[in-house]
Chain A
Amino acid sequence: MSGLHVDALRAEKINGGVTYEAGPRDAVWERAEVALVDQDLPSDGSGRFAIVVSPVPAESWRVDALLRRVRDRGYVGFAAPGAARLDAGSRRLAERIGLLVLGVERPFELAEVTWRIAEARDALALDLIRRLATAFRYPASDLRDLLGHIASSAGYGVALLDADGVYEQAGGDLGSAAAMIDWSVGIDILEHEGMSVASTRVDRASRPGLRLAFFASGVGQAQRMALAVAAQVTMPAVAARILIDEIAAVSDASASSELLRDFLDAGEQDADIGRRMTERGWRTTGFHLGFRMVGRTRLDPRELLRAVTAGLGEFEVEAHATTMGRGVVGWMRFVERPDPAELDRQVRRLRELHLQVRRTFNIATGVGTLQAGGAGLSATIDDAVGAARIAVERSLSDWFVRIDAFGLEQLLLARTESDTFVPAAEALLAPLRAEGGGLIETLAVYLDNESGIAATAQQLGIHRNTVAQRVRRIEELLGVDLRDASARLALHLASRAMLR
């Protein structure tokens, strides 16, 4: 059995109020003896720890003599009330004779915990479980709350980890030890830089790759084993909590989804819809910018919503989202009309969110136009839905499309869907196709960007001079002047139809 040391005692929640005072910190002992006064301690104290209930004397020479008597009987450590008032000489003596000296407020409590740690590790685990039971006595509002209850009842740190590291933690910081956990085993017990961690796999079908970890710094082997037991016992409760939260999220998502659908169908004039929207905190006054994220392949809209909601949480403007069909619909709300630069900034943030979510979900995103009031909210969401429909096909813009103020994209969409248009467009752009070299894409993007050379170059990832060359070549090949509005419109439609 590995021995007990001062850090292990100090890591205990109930430890008699132990304080380190003097002597070798690394002293290790197997068991402790308790006596009213030091003279009553068993004479053979080799490798043991002495707990004396009577306070240490006030006179330093008496303290010196006491420390010497305890050490001479073989004890490696000594704890007594009032040891905090040891003077410098007595502390030096403790170091000289190699006696660990601890202060203690409640010596019997220290004796009890020492006994539990050193001699009854089962008792230690049982006691921990008993304490954990109290964590479930009070309802927790969510997972974070539950982990907080567990951590405070256990007196140790608790963390829930996923593949990216700590997902949620309470009662301390797991820190760098998180990276040391072995994910391949069911129960992993480790010690890293003084931090002891016992972790167990959390069984969840919907979210694989979760681990629940209990952690504490400076504890001994027996306490590590108790941590592992605690992790195993607590795991089902945590798993159940995750499930409950998921069901709540699902029902919340379906309720909000239904509300949005009702709103889009009936508008806010309906008193019931208006009330439900107010309860949810959806206000229709002000200005709204709708967006729609839709799966290009099959996906779980609720999982997508979770990811999007997490991302929206970092926006500094009011934003809402709910599921709709194969994806998510959301909007940002501005109290005052945002200026164009601010609006562009918010769209850029949406685009960043879109790219971030795309790492996990194959989605396309459409962004609507800025609209005011309740009717505007419906309108911008309609815009966004339309834009998303376009975005699904737009690999060139990373499947992200924002409807501009004039609704040109809708127009394009409508036109290009006709059967007669496509052959005409092919004929118009045939010279470019024959030349090759990405001229059609360049034309499309150039027109998308309102003849901006720099913006086109940036979007295509090529040099500005190359764009300028290509534009000149396109004008030569087609014999048109791209400054002519009607030519631009025709070519824009044609190139878009060809690229679908």
Chain B
Amino acid sequence: MERSDIEALAHGCSLLGSGGGGRTTYLELLAAQAAWPITLHDVSDLDPTTPCIAAAFAGSTMLIAERLPAAGSFRPLIAAVERWLGHDVPALCSFEVGGMNGLTGFVAAEGRMLVDADGMGRALPRMDQLSLAVDGVPGLVFAVGTGHGVAVIESPNADEAEAVVRSALRQAGGTGSVVVGGFTVGDLVAHAMPGMLSHALRLGAQYLQARDERLEDFAAAIGGRLLAQGRIGASEGDADPQVHSYEIDDIDGTVHRLVTRTETLALVSDGRLVSASPDVLVVVDPRTKDIIEVPQLKLQQQVAVIELPVADWWRRSATRLRRVLPSFYGLEALDPVAAA
């Protein structure tokens, strides 16, 4: 991959962010300082026994924009994981392709082999939604910055890892860096989503090529389904302070409700659920096709909602699906009936 690919990759990652995952701008600048070109290794090209890690920035995406993380913040974490495992880890893959973390691998690799695979296939809020954790790959080790030090967590229970990582992030000031190790490149074939980085690159290229076209054609060009186009008429909160719902008054009269959390979660049109997590719901400006993140949504804004299909990996078992359906966030009513 060349340095000039960053723009397309960033747009692809933003689309897969599903309205969340953080803006890519800062990571684009950090990635530009890496040593290009960078080779993106296919999973099948490497020895399956090669130890591998994944890295991500975590915490509030809004805080990250305020407290810019340092490029070198992963080094002590990776060192801690390597110490814990007792051997070097020569490969690094993507933790979360959606949003800013789609570019994190290019910043954190620092000479390690960058593997074209991802642990989420989109943006998701929690550690226990990492595909390797969902499948219960044994021996996973999380390392997280605690502000000045490092916490290393080894637990067969992904919920525990999530809870401890979350409290470490709070201790670190709301944002920080997370690294997970203890798996091999071979594990990525079954327990992660190989090819996601190159997929994001292709998606971004299609986006850049089609962004001047009509909305319908644009949606088709990026492989998506145009679900709504209109004005945000109202917004309201929920019992869960993270959940919001935006009323989109469609130009054809349909009453849409876009339900969001840190990412977009579901779209209800005229009272019918038309799309829900894990599928990706991208909000764009209908004219400029600028990708709009959830925190940027505001009243009277003209928006279009496009559904992009999520990686098949999530639908291959009920256990996996359960971790990403709206019911996982307590919104059972937004689960597609067929899946429930």
Question: Which of A's residues lie within 8 Å of B, judged by CB?
Answer: 58-62, 64-69, 71, 87-90, 92-93, 96-97
Q: Is B268's CB under 8 angstroms from A64's CB?
A: yes
Q: Of B245, B249, B272, B334, which one neighbours A60 at CB under 8 angstroms?
A: B245
Instruction: List the A residue with the shortest CB-CB distance to B248.
Output: A89
Q: Is B272's CB under 8 angstroms from A68's CB?
A: yes
- What's the A-B contact tally at a CB cutoff of 8 Å? 60
Query: What are 18 A-to-B residue pairs whose CB atoms are below 8 Å?
Result: A59-B236, A59-B239, A60-B236, A60-B247, A61-B334, A64-B255, A65-B268, A65-B271, A65-B333, A68-B272, A87-B234, A87-B236, A88-B234, A88-B247, A90-B255, A96-B253, A96-B254, A96-B255
Q: How far is the CA of A66 from the CA of B272 in the complex (A)?
A: 9
Instruction: List the A residue with the shortest CB-CB distance to B240.
Output: A59
Q: Of B233, B245, B255, B272, which one neighbours A59 at CB under 8 angstroms?
A: B245
Chain A residues whose C-beta falls within 8 Å of the C-beta of B247 in the assembled complex:
60, 87-89
Q: Is A96's CB under 8 angstroms from B270's CB?
A: yes
The answer to whether the Cβ of B23 comes within 8 Å of any Cβ in the partner chain is: no
Chain B residues whose C-beta falls within 8 Å of the C-beta of A88 in the assembled complex:
233-234, 247
Q: Is A92's CB under 8 angstroms from B245's CB?
A: no
Q: Is B253's CB under 8 angstroms from A64's CB?
A: no
Chain B residues whose C-beta falls within 8 Å of the C-beta of A66 in the assembled complex:
271
Instruction: List the A residue with the shortest CB-CB distance to B259.
Output: A61
If over half of B's interface residues share one DSSP class (helix, strand or loop), that class is named, otherwise mixed; here it is strand
Q: Of B233, B239, B259, B266, which one neighbours A89 at CB under 8 angstroms?
A: B233
Q: How far is the CA of A97 from the CA of B272 in the complex (A)?
A: 12
The answer to whether the Cβ of B238 comes within 8 Å of any Cβ in the partner chain is: yes
Chain B residues whose C-beta falls within 8 Å of the C-beta of A60 in the assembled complex:
234, 236, 245, 247, 257
Q: How far is the CA of A252 from the CA of B263 in the complex (A)?
A: 87
Instruction: List the B residue with the shortest CB-CB distance to A91.
Output: B255
The answer to whether the Cβ of B273 comes within 8 Å of any Cβ in the partner chain is: yes
If over half of A's interface residues share one DSSP class (helix, strand or loop), that class is named, otherwise mixed; here it is helix
Q: How far is the CA of A89 from the CA of B233 in the complex (A)?
A: 8
Q: How far is the CA of A65 from the CA of B271 in the complex (A)?
A: 4
Instruction: List the A residue with the shortest CB-CB distance to B271.
Output: A68
| CB 8 Å contact bits of B269-281 with A (1 = contact, 0 = none) | 0111100000000
Q: Of B239, B255, B259, B333, which one neighbours A58 at CB under 8 angstroms?
A: B239
Expressed in whole angstroms, the minimum distance between the Cβ of B173 and any Cβ of chain A is: 33
Instruction: List the A residue with the shortest CB-CB distance to B258.
Output: A61
Chain A residues whose C-beta falls within 8 Å of the C-beta of B236 in the assembled complex:
59-60, 87
Q: Is B234's CB under 8 angstroms from A93's CB?
A: no
Q: How far is the CA of A462 from the CA of B197 in the complex (A)?
A: 115
| CB 8 Å contact bits of B158-190 with A (1 = contact, 0 = none) | 000000000000000000000000000000000
Chain A residues whose C-beta falls within 8 Å of the C-beta of B234 in the assembled complex:
60, 87-89
Q: Of B233, B238, B270, which one neighbours A64 at CB under 8 angstroms?
A: B270
Expressed in whole angstroms, the minimum distance between the Cβ of B289 and any Cβ of chain A is: 26
